[in-house]
């Protein structure tokens, strides 16, 4: 990439990164790309934050491009950096952390900021917006301590925030200044039906209320209105609108109106500087929905790649809301301006409302409530501007005038034209999805998503995608949808492992080729899992494929949000010596380590280490890695046991050290934590570990499947044994059985819930079976060495680090 131009993008959101995705396909290698992102996260789907709150998705599920994507595409990601200065004369961008990035082309993708009402008291703790992951986290944390929430704003975002808070168990009131909800997308009839449905779910509404102030001392206690009434609230979420984030552009001499002013090719008034997404203003409009922003990104990518394009001409927008089973669709004009006529259908019993707005025999607007199946077809007609004369009743009712009954959803989908857009966010037509099902063996929604990106953004089109799968899926239409380990394959973990064994496949590439991966290069989900399965099955023959491991595991340190690293040497059982402590202290001083912290696993963590210091630091420490970054044995936590404690019944320190030395460097499907408590008082918290040992009079209780993380799970009692040798035997057998049968990235707590404790007990009950498992785990361990000893010289060590891009955060 020596001849590549330098492209810097400010913003790591959906519109900007979609532009980069297009550019990478159109002109791979043409640009050396740097992305500056203020949040300490990879590119994620902001639209699905409401699904996270409502329990329909986890945080990991809304990530669009994970950390490995940036590395695989050689993109330098400055996460946690805020751009503070653009010098359009020297073509540089300066970040809040002092990094200066040069550019030949600059994309402003700074998005928008939530509008916070300037109310007295708006700066109190507990007053937030609903815009990013941190806002979601605050809502979740607040719901554990407090019960009353108020959402200011009865629009799309406010209602989704309110539904999420209801799911979290809070008492939620929505405050809206207008007489009915979603007045920008719905007419009054549809809005009242929506309100009725949401009230039935427990949501409360205060309409035509004008907020005056927020009261409380340090933390919010409630909201006061201009009519003198009050509403108690421990949390206030403002969802009253967004404003394009233009301050940086404005201070840099770039033309700004409401947004950053751009032409049809997303160019600003400054040569080489472009803007895309919510921050951009095109022909006087700043869009806040994802579909037009993706259309802008496609045009900009072509412009940067030198591909001829007609330019961006603006967008007709649509809105789809799904709140716990309530379906709402709105597109175009719904307010019946002069010169238009409207047709309505309303069924209060079934909870269905439909309205279309016509002008000059053309469809110009539509509102659907309860039954939104015709939304894509109506939206396509609005955008095309074709005449619908004579078809008005059919469009409204969903069946031909004079017909006796409504057409089935399947027949409606079959009748859709091939060029009709199903996924507005990503511009995916019915014909594209049909082709994926019929000709590319996409037999699940996830496979269609991976192949076409349909339903990959807001998810509103998922019912249509599922419907098309039923129509064109043939024999698979009525069968359970088959999901693979990732979008590259429909094969499950068990099928893949069985085929690797049967055909004796010995490399990641070979597995993907022989088993017919849709993506011949694999992805960041399947490559690490295949690498693990091959190493587990062929410990003596398979050579670990470093490029298929997560970056943290390749560089033996945890990268932090500021781009520095965390180094954790192994301290067996939490027991150290003055000499070892002195060595760690000397190394920390020599390399100016900003912080040394005791971890929850009784080790020392050296935080804030520079990338370039990692090789020499490990060399001078001359201690085994604690694998704080790996899918491996992390820690064995111990209490002092009978050695010092008056309650101790066994030598928990000695037992813990023995287990840690027995299993260090063991690769596992997910991270594994052990603990040994010297008595039933359980000071080492052994009953929330993957494998816990609790001393009792005359023996040891062995516990399995615990987790002390987000989803806390107490262990199940596996058995009781008498000797330390038996503890090691059972621990070895259990861990090897887990290694051989769990899915990649599946913690023991999840695995035990899936397979059941009885199945594990049965697999380990015979001593011969335990001894066989013990032998296999010993074979696997015999092939491992401390990661730093794999690199035979400092020269090779440093060379290994040269390929690590400047700071790109990596998630394990």
> Residue 152 CA to chain centroid, in angstroms?
27
Tokens of 414: 């079959």
Q: Are strands 604-609 and 595-598 parallel, antiparallel or unpaired?
A: antiparallel
Task: Provide CB contacts within 8 A for 642, sequence distance 6+.
Answer: 648, 649, 650, 651, 652, 678, 695
645 marked as part of a ligand binding site? yes
Report the DSSP beta bridge partners of residue 342: 357
SS3 of 400-414: the string is: CCCCCCCCCHHHHHH
Q: Is 46 in contact with 343 (CB distance < 8 Å)?
A: no
423 marked as part of a ligand binding site? no
Tokens of 33: 């790309």
Least Cα distance to 272 among 107, 383, 70 occurs for 107
Q: Is 53 in contact with 95 (CB distance < 8 Å)?
A: no
Q: Are strands 100-102 and 92-95 parallel, antiparallel or unpaired?
A: antiparallel
How far, in Å, CA of 259 to CA of 280, rounded? Answer: 5
Q: Give 5-67 as a DSSP string.
A: EEEEEE--SHHHHHHHHHHHHHSTTSEEEEEEESSSS-EE-GGGHHHHHTTS--GGGGEEE-H
Radius of gyration of the chain from its Cα atoms, rounded to whole angstroms: 29
Tokens of 319: 């809105």
How far, in Å, CA of 629 to CA of 620, rounded? Answer: 20
How far, in Å, CA of 129 to CA of 153, rounded? Answer: 11
Least Cα distance to 46 among 458, 380, 653 occurs for 458
DSSP state of 222: E
The structure tokens 């005449």 sit at 387
Sign (positive or negative) of CA dihedral 419, 423, 427, 428 = negative
DSSP state of 544: P
Return phi, psi of residue 489, to 5°: -155, 155
Q: Is 268 in contact with 248 (CB distance < 8 Å)?
A: no
Tokens of 108: 């402003």
Strands (E), 304-372: 318-323, 326-332, 341-347, 352-359, 362-369
719 marked as part of a ligand binding site? no
SS3 (DSSP) at 287:
coil
- Helix 133-145 to helix 156-167 angle (10° resolution) is 40
How far, in Å, CA of 556 to CA of 627, rounded? Answer: 7
CB atoms within 10 A of CB 524: 17
DSSP state of 603: -
523 marked as part of a ligand binding site? no
Q: Binding site for siroheme, residues?
A: 683
Binding residue positions for [4Fe-4S] cluster: 639, 645, 679, 683
Binding-site annotation, residues:
639, 645, 679, 683
């Amino acid at each position: 990439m020596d001849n590549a131009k330098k492209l810097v993008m400010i913003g790591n959101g959906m519109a900007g990164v979609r532009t980069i995705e297009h550019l990478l396909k159109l002109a791979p290698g043409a640009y050396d790309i740097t992305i500056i992102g203020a949040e300490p996260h990879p590119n994620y789907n902001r639209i699905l934050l409401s699904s996270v709150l409502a329990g329909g998705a986890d945080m990991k599920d809304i990530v669009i491009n994970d950390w490995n994507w940036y590395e695989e595409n050689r993109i330098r990601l400055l996460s946690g950096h805020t751009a503070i200065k653009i010098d359009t004369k020297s073509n540089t961008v300066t970040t809040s952390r002092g990094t200066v990035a040069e550019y030949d082309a600059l994309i402003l993708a700074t998005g928008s900021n939530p509008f916070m009402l300037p109310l007295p008291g708006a700066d109190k703790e507990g007053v937030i917006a609903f815009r990013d992951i941190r806002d979601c986290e605050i809502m979740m944390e607040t719901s554990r301590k407090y019960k009353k929430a108020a959402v200011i704003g009865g629009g799309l975002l406010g209602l989704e925030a309110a539904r999420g808070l209801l799911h979290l168990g809070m008492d939620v009131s929505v405050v809206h200044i207008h007489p009915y909800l979603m007045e920008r997308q719905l007419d009054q009839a549809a809005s009242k039906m929506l309100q009725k449905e949401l009230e039935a779910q427990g949501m409360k509404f205060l309409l035509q209320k004008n907020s005056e102030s927020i009261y409380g001392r340090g933390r919010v206690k409630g909201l006061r209105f201009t009519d003198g009434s009050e509403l108690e609230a421990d949390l206030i979420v403002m969802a009253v609108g967004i404003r394009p984030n233009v301050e940086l552009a404005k201070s840099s001499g770039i033309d700004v109106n409401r947004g950053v002013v751009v032409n049809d090719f997303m160019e600003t008034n400054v040569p080489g500087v472009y803007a895309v997404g919510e921050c951009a203003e095109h022909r006087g409009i700043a869009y806040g929905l994802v579909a037009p922003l993706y259309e802008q990104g496609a045009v900009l990518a072509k412009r940067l790649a030198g591909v001829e394009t007609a330019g961006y001409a603006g967008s007709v927008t649509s809105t789809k809301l799904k709140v716990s089973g309530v379906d709402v669709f709105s597109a175009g004009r719904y307010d019946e301006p002069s010169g238009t006529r409207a047709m309505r259908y309303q069924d209060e019993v079934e909870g269905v409302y439909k309205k279309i707005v016509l002008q000059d025999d053309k469809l110009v607007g539509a509102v659907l409530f309860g039954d939104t199946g015709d939304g894509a077809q109506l939206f396509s007609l609005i955008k095309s501007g074709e005449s619908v004369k004579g078809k008005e009743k059919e469009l409204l009712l969903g069946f031909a005038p004079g017909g006796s009954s409504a057409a089935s959803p399947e027949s409606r989908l079959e009748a859709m034209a091939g060029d009709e857009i199903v996924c507005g966010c990503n511009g995916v037509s019915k014909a594209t999805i049909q082709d994926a099902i019929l000709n590319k063996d996409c037999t699940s929604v996830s496979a269609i998503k991976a192949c076409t990106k349909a339903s990959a953004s807001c998810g509103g089109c998922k019912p249509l995608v599922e419907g098309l799968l039923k129509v064109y899926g043939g024999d698979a239409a009525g069968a359970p949808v088959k999901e693979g380990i990732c979008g590259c394959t429909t094969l499950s973990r068990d099928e893949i492992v069985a085929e690797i064994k049967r055909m004796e496949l010995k490399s990641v590439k070979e597995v993907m080729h022989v088993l017919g991966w849709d993506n011949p290069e694999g992805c960041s989900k399947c490559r690490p899992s295949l690498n693990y399965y091959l190493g587990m099955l062929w410990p003596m023959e398979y050579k670990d494929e470093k490029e298929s491991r997560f970056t943290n595991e390749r560089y033996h340190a945890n990268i932090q949000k500021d781009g520095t690293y965390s180094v954790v040497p192994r301290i067996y059982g939490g027991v150290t010596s003055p000499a070892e402590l002195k060595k760690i202290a000397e190394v920390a001083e020599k390399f100016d380590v900003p912080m040394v912290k005791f971890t929850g696993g009784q080790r020392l963590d050296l935080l804030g280490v520079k990338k370039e210091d990692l090789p020499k630091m490990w060399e001078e420490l001359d201690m085994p890695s604690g694998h704080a970054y790996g899918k491996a044995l992390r820690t064995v936590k111990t209490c002092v046991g009978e050695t010092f404690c008056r309650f101790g019944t066994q030598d928990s320190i000695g037992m813990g050290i023995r287990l840690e030395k027995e299993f260090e460097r063991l690769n596992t499907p997910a991270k594994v934590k052990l603990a040994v408590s010297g008595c039933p008082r359980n000071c080492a918290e052994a009953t929330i570990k993957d494998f816990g040992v609790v001393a009792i009079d005359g023996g040891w209780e062995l516990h399995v499947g615990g987790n002390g993380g987000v989803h806390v799970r107490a262990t199940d009692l596996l058995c009781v044994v008498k000797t330390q040798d038996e503890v090691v035997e059972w621990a070895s057998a259990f861990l090897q059985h887990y290694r051989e049968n769990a899915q990649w990235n599946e913690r023991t707590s999840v695995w035990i819930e899936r397979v059941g404790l009885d199945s594990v007990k049965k697999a380990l009950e015979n001593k011969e079976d335990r001894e066989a498992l013990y032998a296999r785990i010993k074979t696997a361990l015999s092939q491992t060495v401390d990661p730093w000893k794999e690199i035979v010289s400092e020269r090779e060590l440093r060379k290994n680090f040269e390929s690590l891009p400047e700071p790109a955060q990596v998630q394990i």
